[in-house]
Homo-oligomer: A and B are copies of this chain.
Amino acid sequence: MTPAKAAIEASFAKQGLMRSFKAGIEEIASGRVVLSMPISPAIGQQHGVAHAGASFALGDSASGYAALTLMEPGAEVMTVEMKINLIAPAAGRRLIATGEVVKPGRRLMITRCTVQAEAEDGILRDVALLQGTMIPV
């Protein structure tokens, strides 16, 4: 395991919200991190599909860790701002967030993330698109 991978796994394990959401790491690559979590009534909105806040949280963590893969060892990452467009109801069994750095920088990193919902039959559907800014702290 690379140091970046180990640092991300250690940091992720400390995120209480990700633990509450039963979220897990699917993939860690240079400038790219994929996270997933089950869709359940515990993260629902009033119509039973996942709350925008759940898609946001998973997408924000995936984006932050994608940025962290490109930062100096020992760095930590913080979200400056994040924009989310909700594009379809987050129905199904699982949310999958793919965060990527689209513009690395020493002071700031720009990230994008696609959040998908996996239906019971395995079909993936884009449910949210995020674009934001990460800063090393």
Contacts and interface: CB of A to CB of B under 8 A. Distances in A.
Interface of A: 11-12, 14-20, 40-48, 50-54, 56-58, 60-61, 76, 78-88, 102-103, 105, 107-108, 110, 112, 126, 129, 131, 133, 135
A61 B56 CA distance: 13
A105 B137 CA distance: 14
A103 B129 contact: yes
A42 B17 contact: yes
Contacts of A88: 103
B82 A52 contact: yes
Given A51-B16, A56-B57, A87 B110 contact: yes
Given A16-B44, A46-B76, A52-B57, 16 more contacts: A14-B47, A15-B51, A16-B40, A16-B42, A16-B48, A17-B44, A18-B51, A52-B60, A52-B82, A53-B56, A53-B57, A53-B58, A80-B133, A81-B83, A87-B105, A103-B129
A131 B16 contact: no
Given A17-B42, A17-B54, A80 B86 contact: yes
A85 to B, nearest CB: 5
A73 B40 CA distance: 29
A29 to B, nearest CB: 20
